Chains A and B, each alone.
Chain A
Amino acid sequence: MMRDHAIRYGFIVLLVGLIAYFAIAADGFVSPQSAVFIFQSVAITGVLALGVTATLVVGGFDLSIGSVATSAMMAASYAMVVLEQNAVVAVIACLVIGVLVGLINGWLIVYMRVPDLLATLGMMFLLLGLQRIPTEGRSIATGMTMPDGSVANGKFSEAFLALGRHRIDFFIPNLIPVSVVVLVVLAVLIWFFLEYTRFGRMMYAVGSNERAAELAGAPVKAYKIWAYVISGVFASIGGILLAARLGRGDIASGNNLLLDAVAAALIGYAVLGAAKPNAFGTAVGAVFVGVLLQGLTMMNAPYYTQDFVKGAVLVVALVFTFALSGRGRK
Chain B
Amino acid sequence: MAENTPLVIRGGRIIDPANDVDRVGDVLIDDGRLASVGEVGAQLPLGAPRVIDAAGRVVAPGFVDVHAHLRTPGFEYKEDIASGTAAAAAGGFTTVCAMPNTDPVLDSRSVIEGLQDQIERHAVVRVLPLAAITCGQNGRQLVEMVDLAEAGVVGFTDDGRPLADTALMRHALEYARPLGLPVSNHCEDPALTAGTTMHEGVVSARLGLPGTPRQAEEIMLGRDLLLAELTGGRYHCLHVTSGGSVDLVRRAKARGANVTAEVTPHHLTLTCDLVAGRDDPVSAILPPYDGNTKVAPPLREQVDTERLLEALRDGTIDCIATDHAPHAVHEKDIEYADAAVGFSAFETALQSVLSLVHAGQLDLAFAIRMLTCAPARVYGLPGGTLTPGAPADVVIFDPDEETVIDPSAFRSKGRNTPLAGLPMQGVVQQTIVGGSVVYDRAASAPELIHAG
Partners in one complex: no
